[in-house]
Structures are given as C-alpha cells and as structure tokens.
Amino acid sequence: MNDDRAASSDASAGGADASGAKTLFARLWDRHHVLTEDGESLLYIDRALAQENTYHAFVALEAQQRTVLRPRQIYAFTDHYVPTTGQAKGLAGIPVAEIRGMVQKLQDFARSHGINLYGIDHAQQGIMHIVPPELGIVQPGMALIGNDSHTSTHGAFGCLAYGVGASEFAHVMATQTLWQTRPGTLRITLDGAPGFGVTAKDLILAIIARIGADGATDHAIEYAGSAIRALSMEARMTVCNMSIEAGGRAGMVAPDDTTFAYLEGREHAPKGAAWERALDFWRSLPGDANARFDREVVLDATGIAPTVTWGISPAHALPIDDCVPDPGHAPDAKIAGEWQTALDYMALVPGMALTDIAVDRVFIGSCTNARIEDLRAAAQVARLGRAKVPAWVVPGSQSVRRQAEAEGLDRIFRDAGFEWRDPGCSLCTAINGDQLEPGERCVSTSNRNFRNRQGPGGRTHLASPAMAAAAALSGHLADVRTLLR
C-alpha cells in the first residue's frame, strides 16, 4: 500500500455497543482514530483525491509555507473542467482561458509537489470517482477524502469515504490527518430481487424518495440486504455515490467476494503474499451481526420500478408509470410549497403522466453512471432505434472509453444518432463548456437535478442509463421496460 498506514485503534473512540459488537463504520472509524479533543476526533487519512477546484486548498497550503507531507498518498485528476471534445489537443484544446488556467494550475501544483497526477493528457485520465477504483487505488478498510461531495462513491469498497472543503483538504495535505465529528449510523436494508428493467440508479432514487433529501443528515449510511449484496461493484458505486443526496455524510457497503474479485489484479492492488494478507484483513471488516445502528430503514426491492425525478431534488422521484404530483395532495403545507416551487421551475402540470413529458436533450455520463456497465446498459437500448433528440454519451475515463470502443459500443451509439464524446464530468457540472440552454429539458444520468445545475434555467430529470437511452429514442420520458420487451 505504498506508505499508507492506519492509526492504532483507541478504545476512547467508542463505537461498540454494550455487547461489544461493532458496525462496519465503527471498525473503520476506530481504526483511523488518533485522539479525541473537545468532542472532535483526529483521524488518519489514507488517501486523498483532488480535482481542479482543489486549487484553493493548494493556495492555502502555500500561503502557510507548508509542504505536502505524504505526496504519494494524494491523487489529482482533471475532470470537472476538461472539455469533452478535442481532448487530443491537451490544454490547447480548452478554448476558455480561465478554465484552461484551472487545469494548468492543478497539473503544475501536482508536479511541483510530487503528487500522483492523472492529467488531461494521461492515458488513465478521467473522473476522480471512476479512475481510483479502476486502478485499485481505493481498497477496503481505508479512510479516504476528496475535494468533492461525491467521494462517498468509494464507500462501495467498504471504506470510509467522504467529501471535504478546501481548508480541510489543505490540512490533510499538510498532516495526513483530519479533525471530524463522529456521525450517527443509519442502516438501509434492501431485500428482494428487483424487477425487470430496474437498476442501481432506480434503487437509490427510490431510497432518497422514501427518506427525503435530508433523511440521512449527520449519519453514515451502510447499505445492506440481499438486493445490495447482489449488485456488481459498479452498481454499488452508483448507490454510494448518491448517499450525499439524502444528506448522508458517507455511504458504504461491507466488502465481500464481489469486492475482492473486482480488485484482484488491478494496478495498485496488493500482489502475491500481500494480497492474501489483505484478504484476511478485508474479511475482518464487516460489522457484527448483532451490531446496533442509531437508525434503521427497510425497503422491499421487489416493489421498485424504473424511476425518474420530476422536480428539483433527487427526492422528487417517482416510478415512470406515475404522474406529476399535485401540491393540493401534499402531506403538509411545507411540502406543498416545495412541490409548487418545483412545478413552476420545471414547467409541469399536476396530474400529467410522466411519460408525457417531452425532453430536449439526453446526457449519459457523470461519476454516478459513466462506467462500462452503464454504457453497456444504455447501448442495449440505443440499438433498438434512433435518437429523436440530441444525446451525449460521455465515458467516465479513458479506460472506459477504450473498453467501450473495443466492444463496439461507440458504434452502436453513433449508429443510433448519439454523440460519443471524450471523458470528463461534462454536463453534470456544466463548468466545462457543456451546459443546457435556458428552459432546455434534459434526461440525465448524473446525481443532481437542482435548479440551474446543468446551466442557468436548465431543467433536469435524473434517470438510469437505460432509461435515459429510452428517452432519447422516444423524445420523452419513457418506460424502458416497454422498449426492451
């Protein structure tokens, strides 16, 4: 693990109930706990992920005349600001000077401080929540931070992973530690086999709709149950990625044989005898069967249908065969007001079928759904027709792009009228030249549908890759099950 280390466990950190049983979260927290002071814990951080916006942390570090303590445990990625066309030109292919400067500053700082850099011209360039798992940089049992809220993605590997601000990131670079307040624990159990056409994106949207956008505030979520255990690693990453959209501090899944099979043989994964030792450790991480959580939520996966959002929060999600809600039927006045605000922004009428909502554009990509499994699912639908609206497919990394092209997925998309683009965050962040026009309605596989998220006045409907492809072929929100059958 390079020069990674884990702080010794400290009984004063707590985490076990009266029986001594521990959750996965408690094991991870205690393993990285160094000391407690004034109600906060100092945690050792194994690895940190940076992107162009981390520049503010770099400036703060240099202003304090401090150096990066362990640069080989810091990883920098160009993703938020890179364009998704013309990447072969490198920095010269970024037309806006300010954006080009952000990418340049990240690369310059990383090189000057010896930080691992996956720059715009790197063979493994891509999104900071897609490349590390591909390379085995993220492993069970780690404490991992990133200067991006969706760092929760990496909890799919059974590690403690969450986003931090610039000042916190600077502290980690200088000390490899971070002061944190211990969150509560929330277990979300999802049992049963999901039905035809239902994906991980549908599961997490249904979860958020159930508990609300603030339903997991100040809690670390552990996802459990037969439906979660049946998911691939890519699907688990989708679920953990959107934990933050329910207000969660982190999201995680206990490591198992699916985790280990995914990691084996990857560039940064342990090899030989070290692999066997790592497996022994990783198998010790899952929580005790009798461990208690501060809160519990249980859902039946068999009752979840392909899901889309209609409003301006990921919690505004409904099964595709439902209708736009009526504020007059809201459970209370506060929610009625929220629904009306959403309807006004999204220009929707209560009672209209979701499948009657016409769309202007489709975006398949982002750290939520731009892995090879996602593109395969979208291509399975795209091959059934031809896009009626502009549709972009943006792979999450150069590795995903190469694999997709080797499998011929890019040809399927192009033949169906979709546009095949270069890796990056693209329309998810809309700070790289890719954005919606005012009033334009987009079906997106990203994680946020906030007002103006994809461009001033843009209207976003979140959906799975398969559902997004179905919308592209239909020109409106569509039930992918109808197309696939």
Give me the sheet containing 391-393, strands edge to edge.
419-420, 391-393, 361-364, 441-444, 459-462
167-219 pLDDT, tens per residue? 999 999 999 999 999 999 999 999 999 999 999 999 999 999 999 999 999 99
Domain around 423: 307-484
* Nearest residue to 101 via CA among 137, 53, 133: 53
In a domain, 328, yes or no: yes
Q: What is the pLDDT of residue 1?
A: 37
Residue 196 resides in a domain: no
Checking if the pLDDT of 306 tops 80, the result is: yes
**pLDDT tier, 96 (very low <50, low <70, confident <90, very high otherwise):** confident
What pLDDT score was predicted for residue 18?
A: 64
Instruction: Give the rounded percent of residues in the chain with a pLDDT score beyond 70.
Output: 96
pLDDT tier for residue 7 given thresholds of 50, 70 and 90: very low
Residue of 202, 439, 420, 451 whose CA lies nearest to 311: 451
Residue 149 lies in a domain: no
With CA atoms as reference, report the closest residue to 317 among 204, 205, 451. Answer: 205
Domain count, the chain: 1
Q: What is the pLDDT of residues 292-302, one digit of tens each?
A: 999 999 999 99
CA distance 382 to 466: 8
Q: Residue 411: what pLDDT? A: 98
Half-sphere exposure of 20 (CA within 13 A, CB side): 0
* Residue 399 belongs to some domain of the structure: yes
- The average pLDDT across 51-77 equals 94
Residue with tokens 């916190």: 168
Q: Which of 346, 354, 418, 433 is nearest to 381 (CA)?
A: 418
Pair 147, 49: CB distance under 8 Å: yes
**Average pLDDT of 364-372?**
98
Flag whether 405 is in a domain.
Answer: yes
Q: What are phi and psi of 272, to 5 degrees?
A: 60, -130
- CA geometry: angle at 376 spanning 370 and 377, to 5°? 90
Tally Cβ neighbours within 10 Å of residue 335.
Answer: 14
pLDDT for position 15 = 57
pLDDT confidence band for 444 (50 / 70 / 90): very high
> The domain that contains 452 carries what CATH number?
3.30.499.10
Average pLDDT, the chain: 95
pLDDT tier at 485 (50, 70, 90 boundaries)?
A: confident
In the chain, what percentage of residues exceed pLDDT 90? 92
Task: Choose among 288, 315, 281: nearest CA to 447.
Answer: 315
In this prediction the pTM is: 0.95
The reply to whether 418 falls in a domain is yes
Please report whether residue 423 resides in a domain. yes
Overall average pLDDT of the 253-277 stretch: 98
Mean pLDDT of 135-152: 98
Q: Has residue 413 been placed in a domain?
A: yes
Quick: pLDDT tens for 380-404: 999 999 999 999 999 999 999 999 9
pLDDT at 6: 35
Looking at residue 4, what is its pLDDT?
Answer: 43
CA pseudo-torsion sign 166, 168, 169, 174: positive
Contacts of 463 (CB under 8 A, 6+ apart): 201, 306, 307, 308, 309, 443, 444, 445, 471, 477
Q: What is the pLDDT of residues 12-30, one digit of tens each?
A: 334 566 678 999 999 999 9
Q: What is the pLDDT of residues 38-61, one digit of tens each?
A: 999 999 999 999 999 998 899 999
pLDDT at residue 247 is higher than 50: yes
H-helix or E-strand containing 384?
none
Predicted local distance difference test score (pLDDT) of residue 132: 98
